[in-house]
A and B are shown apart, each in its own frame.
Chain A
Amino acid sequence: MRFERVTVDFGGQPALDDVSFDIRNGESRVVLGESGSGKTVILKTAIGLLHPSKGRVFLFNEDITGRREQEMFSIRARVGMLFQESALFDSLTIEENVSYPLVNQKSIQLDEEQTHQRVEEALTFVELGHTLEKFPSELSGGMRRRVGIARANVTEPALVLYDSPTAGLDPITANNIMALLVKERDLRNATTVIVTQRFQDGQIMAKYRFDRDSGELRAASSDGGSVSGLKFMVMREGKLVFEGTREELGLSTDPYISKFVLRH
């Protein structure tokens, strides 16, 4: 996923202003920033839900800038996305919500039985295997977020985008959600981009790895070091003001960045 000097305008106001970065296959990225700083816009622009007024966007080494909606579906099929507040379809059951990408993406050809099995696996992964027949309104905020994670990962996409996965959740539920994301990242080695306001979310992504043998999260390194291939980005008023490792983030003397990091 690569942005080259991307600007996105909303009614003349830039939501993203000349943003460039490059996320390579298998890497993870944590995007921090205050609300309205353009974090969500990055994710939506990356999969063509929003169109840049300037610059170029590349996804899986393909230039997707200005592509028509119909041409985007095959590329989007390789991306999973968790939306803010989950964006589950109210009128569909949890099973129908999670099976939605399996049923509607042309590149996926599964019969009913296979689809059901994949949905069950995805929901069991997020510990919600018993909610197949329920509707989103019957679940708590944290459970809905977990269903959203299951839906984002059910097609086993190469790139997963998480928009504020812990927003509005209590600290315990938020940590559980982050543990799930680490688990998902390490089991599938998917490229993962997380947008969040909480520095703790980034800390969990950076400091922990999922241990297959014990089935638990373990420190990535005994000396407190970070997971390799993980970088942080900090957004401010549509501009990318920092890009680097957790250690570089901690050493930053920029008042906005250090204030942001310390405050959380």
Chain B
Amino acid sequence: MLDILKGPVLSIQEFFQLTGRTLKNLPKRPHYPRDILNQMDILGVGSLPIVLLVGFFSGVVMALQMSRALRTYGAVSQTGPIVAITLVREMGPVLTSIVVAGRNAAGIASELGSMKVTEQIDAMRALGTDPVQKLVKPRLIATAIMLPCLTAIADFVGLLGGYLIAYGVLKLTTSEYWNGAYRAIEYNDIAQGLIKPFIYAMVISMVGCFCGLRTTGGTQGVGLATTQAVVVSSVWIFVLNAFITQIFVTL
């Protein structure tokens, strides 16, 4: 029994060690600003098209589904507030993070995994660079900055999608939809809508880096690390979402 648990416990310990080292190194030099900007471009700007698509259609579907339920109570005019609250609190952060996890945790794990199996990580250490500083830190910072921004954009285009349905299908007026949406959102909603992606960004980047850096066994190992990074980061996003939501609900 102990032998079965040994592997996972050791992995969790190593994950927290890597996270601890990265956080400890955040204020330390060198900072590699070019790598951070490069990662912000790859992880953030590169994810923009898919985040826009997912955000927009989430808003569309949300408005359609909600209108059906609301019609029963004669409250179709409440579509704006409901779409806004659902998107800002839950759908925006979680869906954006899942999309980014699928794209970027996989990307990070496969890139670092390939570097590991071709000894590029060892070469980096031998040539005077700490891989945590050079590879992990820029990815953590870039994801932590870009994911909340992407979430805010996804929320907005989601609201826009909801508006198209509200205006075109449900025949609500523009001010009815947007005023309702604006009034429904409180600071608490915005806070949790931005804190969530910030925390998920840490999960995505650290899990991606961790899985990549512990890759063994050649190309097959890279594939395994990539799969693990996506699965583990997605699961953690859902688990943490439940905890964070619980905290905000009781506030």
Are B120's CB and A89's CB within 8 A?
Answer: yes
B119 on the A face (CB < 8 A): yes
* A-side contacts of B119, CB under 8 Å: 83-85, 87
Q: Number of contacts between A and B (CB, 8 Å)?
A: 51
A104 on the B face (CB < 8 A): yes
Question: In the assembled complex, how far is the CB of residue A245 from the closest CB belonging to chain B, in whole angstroms?
Answer: 29
Are A69's CB and B130's CB within 8 A?
Answer: yes
Are A49's CB and B128's CB within 8 A?
Answer: no
Q: Mark A46-70, 1 if CB is under 8 A from B, else 0.
A: 0101000000000000000000011
Instruction: Report which of A47, A70, A84, A88 forms a contact with B126, defined as CB distance below 8 A.
Output: A47
Bound complex: CA of A79 vs CA of B127, how far in Å?
Answer: 9
Bound complex: CA of A85 vs CA of B123, how far in Å?
Answer: 11
Tell me the A27-78 residues at the B interface (CB within 8 Å): 44, 47, 49, 69-70, 72-73, 76-77
Given contacts A83-B123, A87-B123, A89-B123, are A106 and B118 in contact (CB under 8 A)? Answer: no
Bound complex: CA of A246 vs CA of B115, how far in Å?
Answer: 37
Are B128's CB and A104's CB within 8 A?
Answer: yes
Are A104's CB and B126's CB within 8 A?
Answer: no
* A-side contacts of B128, CB under 8 Å: 73, 76-77, 101, 104-106
A81 on the B face (CB < 8 A): yes
Q: Mark B102-140, 1 if CB is under 8 A from A, else 0.
A: 000000000000110011101111111110000000000
Bound complex: CA of A69 vs CA of B126, how far in Å?
Answer: 10
Bound complex: CA of A70 vs CA of B28, how far in Å?
Answer: 12
Are A81's CB and B126's CB within 8 A?
Answer: yes
Q: Mark A80-105, 1 if CB is under 8 A from B, else 0.
A: 01011101111000000000110011
Closest 3 CB pairs of A and B: A105-B128, A87-B123, A87-B119
